[in-house]
Structure 1
Amino acid sequence: MRLLDSGPNTMRIVLLGKPGSGCSSLANTILGEDSFRSGSCSDSKTGLSLTKTKSVHNRPLTLIDTSGLFHPGVSEKERKASILSCVTECAPGVAAFLIVFKVEKFTEQENDIVTQICRLFSEDALEYAVVVFTRGDQLPDRVKIHDFVSESKALRELVEKCGGRCHVFDNRYWKQKQQDEYRSNQFQLAELLKSIDEIAMEHDGRYYTDNMLLKVENEMKREEKLIRQSGNMSVKEIREQAKGKVVKKRMERSWFRLVVRFVFISGFFAALIGVIVPKLMKKQ
């Protein structure tokens, strides 16, 4: 893992969860404002990741909402666009991944989300992950989230891979401070930020990154340089334009490779048929 320069936008927190898990509401709870549309962690039409930067407890956080990655029934083109959008927002590195589930039975569908996360980033990403549950009102009285986790072998193993880090929020009912301090979003937020600090300490200030994220960051730096030469724009505007250009170019390269592969396979079978058919006709 590479040590990244510190800066106001480098503490990237990535929310990962299936549609309906409560990602957008959780993001709003963390930020203390309605920045994300409830019911969808990302644009439902485009699947593109959404971001928002704000100071939370005197530290700048950039929340990256990515559940467009996990929408069922999307086309391969839409899924690739979602992946590229996620990667460009995450580059050059991630402070923490929040893997979001509801307080309910952990099924194969939830486990598949974890598999997809590891496939996209790598299993090393779990060393930088926190499991966060929503719908905390579903917890029985006097039951804490670690008690709930201990009842499922799969959940228990996942949380162990994430360094034992897990927290619970309720984006609907825990808005005000409760009599039970544990069942308070403010208490859970403070604990979540402690977990993120612990991740940083465990990795000596290094954020999660990999070759894919570093390559994308290098591409964006080149695009930023070209954009900067062509006009007078703010740093934020330049960065956003660079992201769009990188996504577009990578999508074009992806489809070009697909076409080349199709042409190659078609040519191979055409040549094969050209050899086999004449031989069969001679035998007749």
Structure 2
Amino acid sequence: MEIVSGTIESQQTDAVVSPMVFHDPLSTRVGTTICKVIDPQLTERVVQESREETIPGDFVLVKDLIGVPFGAVFFLSLVPWDEEENGTAVQVLRLGINKILTSCEREGFESVALPALGAGIALRFPVTVVARVLQEEVCKFEQERSTSAPVQVRIVLHPKDEDANEVFNSVQEAMKYNRCTENNLESGLNWSSITKRIVLLGKTGSGKSNLANTILGEDVFTVYHSPNSGTYSCHSETRTVNRRRLTLIDTPGFFDTERTEEDLKPEVMRCLTECAPGPHVFLIVLKVDKFTKHEQKVVTKIREHFSDDALKYAVIVFTHGGQLPEGMKIEEFVHQNKNLSNLVKMCGSRCHVFDNKHWNGEEQDVYRSNQFQLEAFLQTIDKMIEEKHGSYYTNDVLQHVEEKIQEQEKQIREVSEYLPPQEIRKQAKSFVSDEFMIQLAGTATGIVLGAFFGVAALVEDVLKVVKNPTDIIKHVKTLTSKAPGVAAAAAAGTEVAAVAVGVAAGVTTLTAATVGGIRGGIIGREASKEAKTPMEAMQKTVEAIKGERNTFKMLQQ
């Protein structure tokens, strides 16, 4: 992202953005100027399309322009400033910026130029608000986008607008953005300013939730003190820690050796959606303890589930640091066990140690201080992200999840256009998590976990199911045991949910799995179409199947 002085119509970029009040492209100074330099017939087309198709936050895109320095124009529909810092006008502005940046990525545009959107006499936004919103949305887009292809975002300020230049530059400095120059286009952002998505992984009792609280500096994750308890649901929190923005995603014991994998599947689904399009860091949490056969099984399980690519984004963090012998550092402890040492090497030799209970005071030994370890840990994260140019771990499954989330966000906006972006994404994630749970109901949890962590063969297995949802009828045994959960998901009203409910309700014996399952799915889908609740869908399906059976018996007689 860069801030330049100039005029929007002179920008040599793939696209430029022109604001308009509601649906009129000629309602702003920028719009009038742009329309003068493009074909008049195109202007008439934009006027027609904007009146017919756009709502606030939408745009009309004109591409393949000839005779002008830019290749396309986004005419963005906005509403005038309503004197609310986060009111309707600002939410529409946020929505429009996000839609344009997403479209640039989809269209393959590598550069886009925007004026100070909304700061003119037609829309009357304070320039301080515009500067803040523009830079926040660009930063948010960079964090959540599904690809790492570079997109240069240029904010164009008129040379005579001294106030705007001063405000934008001060806001940019405050938010720790780097100015994009010819020698610094690759970085674009100061990577310390992006929100890092960090997934905590480890067996129950390893101290994940307590560690998350130690890192964030406040008790936001529930800590269970019973040795048989622990986190049973995926939970995420975002905070600023030592000038870094972190999102920590606490998980159940994915690598427990005593828990059944089937119990973990809903949380695997939730974790997939919470960290989509992918985590910047996997935090593998282990205890400083005697390395018994039980601990070795956990390490073996981690290595089985993770691909080599996923481990490139992993950091090993030990808890219960007080168990370290006096004067010993964590690296020495690791080297005492060959298998543990190999795991740490696979994670780029990145390891740290905390003690959530005893290292919170002023210790004579600086090393035995959570404050010291926290800064060292954050510097490791900074270095990782800088070396990877801000990229994060992803694979086909995570990208598919992100695509589904974005599709659902679009649908939510169509019916709740002024809902805050954070709430829209939250609702979209919840919906997609439920939908994926239905689709993967009969898939072994180990396969789902392996696909999450990038094991190629397992990624293919999962994608076959999620891209061909009707395949779930092949997994009748598991699905019938989860009928209540499937029914709950059917509230979404999707065809996938209806098929799942049909299978769950329509198949009563395993011998019916092949023929009855398919037929039950078809009946369930049709019977559930008019249902208003999951229970009603189940009842209609059961009644339809009973009717089908009675008809079949009559024909036999």
User: Given the two structures, how large is their TM-score scaled by the length of structure 2?
Assistant: 0.44
Establish whether residue 3 from structure 1 lines up as the match of residue 189 from structure 2: no
**Counterpart position of 2:438:** 252
**Counterpart position of 2:58:** none
1:195 is displaced (CA, Å) by 1.0
**Counterpart position of 2:199:** 14
Letter in 2 for 1:237: E
Letter in 2 for 1:170: D
Measure the CA separation in 2 of the matches of 1:185 and 1:83. Answer: 30
Deviation beyond 6 Å, 4+ runs, structure 1: 4-9, 267-270
Higher relative contact order (CA 8 A, sep 6+): 1
Establish whether residue 165 from structure 1 lines up as the match of residue 350 from structure 2: yes
Contact 1:68 1:82 in 2 (8 A): no
Letter in 2 for 1:24: S
1:101 aligned residue (269, 286, 289): 286
1:197 is displaced (CA, Å) by 1.4
1:39 is displaced (CA, Å) by 2.7
**Counterpart position of 1:145:** 330
1:79 aligned residue (264, 282, 286): 264
Contact 1:145 1:168 in 2 (8 A): yes
* CA deviation map 1:44-99 (0-9, x unaligned): 799331000001111110001012434543462x3221111111111112111111
Q: Do the aligned partners of residues 238 and 16 (structure 1) sit closer, same or farther apart at CA in structure 2, a change above 3 Å counting?
A: same
2:314 aligned residue (129, 152, 155): 129
Measure the CA separation in 2 of the matches of 1:138 and 1:32. Answer: 22
Measure the CA separation in 2 of the matches of 1:226 and 1:233. Answer: 12
Letter in 2 for 1:85: R
Measure the CA separation in 1 of the matches of 2:194 and 2:269. Answer: 19
**Counterpart position of 1:225:** 410
Measure the CA separation in 1 of the matches of 2:287 and 2:207. Answer: 7
Greater Cα shift, 8-17 or 223-232: 8-17
Measure the CA separation in 1 of the matches of 2:238 and 2:512. Answer: 50
| Secondary structure of 1:97 counterpart | strand
2:236 aligned residue (41, 51, 55): 51
Greater Cα shift, 194-203 or 166-175: 194-203
User: Given the two structures, how large is their TM-score scaled by the length of structure 1?
Assistant: 0.83
Q: Do the aligned partners of residues 120 and 155 (structure 1) sit closer, same or farther apart at CA in structure 2, a change above 3 Å counting?
A: closer
> Bigger radius of gyration, 1 or 2?
2
| Secondary structure of 1:105 counterpart | coil
| Secondary structure of 1:11 counterpart | strand
Q: Would you say how many aligned residue pairs link Structure 1 and Structure 2?
A: 265
Contact 1:69 1:82 in 2 (8 A): no
> Which runs of structure 2 are paired with 1:174-193 in the superposition (5 Å)?
174-193=359-378
* CA deviation map 1:90-135 (0-9, x unaligned): 1112111111011012344444444544555523111111110110
Contact 1:100 1:134 in 2 (8 A): yes
2:249 aligned residue (64, 79, 95): 64
**Counterpart position of 1:281:** none
| Secondary structure of 2:254 counterpart | helix
Contact 1:16 1:97 in 2 (8 A): yes
**Counterpart position of 1:277:** none
**Counterpart position of 2:394:** 209
Measure the CA separation in 2 of the matches of 1:74 and 1:159. Answer: 27
Measure the CA separation in 2 of the matches of 1:126 and 1:107. Answer: 23
Q: Do the aligned partners of residues 122 and 179 (structure 1) sit closer, same or farther apart at CA in structure 2, a change above 3 Å counting?
A: same
Greater Cα shift, 23-32 or 103-112: 103-112
Measure the CA separation in 1 of the matches of 2:301 and 2:274. Answer: 18
Give the % identical residues.
Answer: 47
**Counterpart position of 2:426:** 240
1:244 is displaced (CA, Å) by 1.0
1:237 is displaced (CA, Å) by 1.4
Letter in 1 for 2:424: I
